[in-house]
Structure 1
Amino acid sequence: MPSEPTEVQVRPGVEGDLEALTALYNHYVRETAITFDTAIFTPEERRPWLLSHPEDGPYRLRVALNPDSQRILGYATSSPFRAKPAYATSVETTVYVAPDAGRRGIGTLLYKALFEALSGEDLHRAYAGIAQPNEASARLHERFGFRYVGTYREVGRKFGRYWDVAWYEKPL
């Protein structure tokens, strides 16, 4: 794994992060097919998402920030995989890094913190869907023990075209 950047600290996400987290996510909504959301959010609209990631339990939010400026450089989450009860021991994980903060090991730092936080939880598998193409995300997930399990072809439509999503899984 790449060396961890020393100028970054990772901590649980808190209510005061909501505006910055929303702005970061909205960049990916507006500019990329990495998320299949198509309309930007206000911080108030994103509040239920933030509150669904408490400091403990299987659904976590980890935030990477510059300790000097307190600027959020990225975040990682674990969220419910599917709503039905038998899926309760599975989570979907994701990482978003600020567009100007890539290739600095921030995704690695975030996933390391997220999986450490999840290590004591009653979880069996983590899943990640990666809109294609996205080699950097595939490499990150493979470094953390995720293995490719299949691709949903043309499963999402955004920016006037269809996108594939490759699915990865990791035992927890």
Structure 2
Amino acid sequence: MSFSVRPALTEDLPAITSIYDHYINHSVATFRTKRVEPSVLLDTYRSAQNSQHPFLVAVSHEGTEIVGYAYVSGYRASHPAYWHTVELSIYVHPNHLFGGVGSRLWTALEDALRQRNCALVDDKGHSPSLDERTSPGATPIRHVLSVMALDTEGSEGGYGLRDWYVKRGFVQKGHLEEVGYKFGRWIDTIILQLTL
């Protein structure tokens, strides 16, 4: 299947919500346990826009189907000292797994973050110092985190997804045991970090 990646639009949110609901109902990729209303993802979308963080969708070439989405959100965003760190979320439509959608979304997202950082450099080659930050949108992104569930029923006992991140330059920084409980079982999380 061929597809393209573009910035998300508000009219994409019903399809995005449908993909997310699949993961809520059928996986441990998210620790949410109840379906979300589109307004929840609208808030996430608006927050990304307000912070000048990318929120992307993968769209079938026919333009009729959203096959995945990815975005970054502020990590502990209410604390300005964390504004240079974001947390990654990538979800692929279950009918399009293992077709390169997640990889293309990540590549486009990483490129968008690097371009965003370059845009914050002034004509003298200076970017705002950490003390000059006025908003998340005016702060260069230094670190991208992924906090992923270790799904022992998934590929390679859950480590397949971790390995996917490692192949893209992420480094495992932590392993938290049994911090989530869903579908009658305890679930670990792995924290991965990429420095841009």
One fold, TM greater than 0.5?
Answer: yes
Unaligned runs of 5+ in 1: none
* Per-residue Cα deviation, 1:41-70 (whole angstroms, up to 9, x for no partner): 12133321121222972x221100102142
Aligned partner (choices 10, 20, 33) of residue 15 of structure 1: 10
Aligned partner (choices 57, 61, 68) of residue 55 of structure 2: 61
Contact 1:151 1:165 in 2 (8 A): yes
Q: Which residue of 2 aligns with 1:151?
A: 175
CA positional deviation for 1:137:
2.1
Contact 1:55 1:61 in 2 (8 A): no
Which protein is richer in helix relative to its size? 2
Contact 1:21 1:72 in 2 (8 A): yes
Closer, same or farther in 2 for the Cα pair 1:73/1:14, shift >3 Å? same
Q: Which residue of 2 aligns with 1:136?
A: 160
CA positional deviation for 1:135:
3.1
Letter matched to residue 3 of structure 2: V
Please, which moves more after superposition, 61-70 or 9-18? 61-70
CA positional deviation for 1:143:
2.0
Aligned partner (choices 32, 35, 41) of residue 30 of structure 2: 35
Percent identity of equivalent pairs? 31
TM-score for the superposition, normalised by structure 2 = 0.80
Q: Which residue of 2 aligns with 1:169?
A: 193
The CA distance in 1 between the partners of 2:163 and 2:69, in whole Å, is: 17
Contact 1:128 1:167 in 2 (8 A): yes
Letter matched to residue 42 of structure 1: E
Q: Which residue of 2 aligns with 1:78?
A: 72
CA positional deviation for 1:18:
0.7
CA positional deviation for 1:71:
0.3
CA positional deviation for 1:149:
0.9
Alignment coverage as a number of residue pairs: 166
The CA distance in 1 between the partners of 2:192 and 2:96, in whole Å, is: 24
* Per-residue Cα deviation, 1:20-49 (whole angstroms, up to 9, x for no partner): 000000000011111011110121333211
Closer, same or farther in 2 for the Cα pair 1:35/1:108, shift >3 Å? same
Runs of at least 4 residues off by over 4 Å = none
Bigger RCO (CA 8 Å, 6+ sep): 1
The CA distance in 1 between the partners of 2:172 and 2:43, in whole Å, is: 31
Q: Which residue of 2 aligns with 1:106?
A: 101
TM-score for the superposition, normalised by structure 1 = 0.90
The CA distance in 2 between the partners of 1:10 and 1:136, in whole Å, is: 24
Q: Which residue of 2 aligns with 1:89?
A: 84
Letter matched to residue 53 of structure 1: A
Unaligned runs of 5+ in 2: 118-139, 152-157
Closer, same or farther in 2 for the Cα pair 1:109/1:25, shift >3 Å? same
Q: Which residue of 1 aligns with 2:111?
A: 116
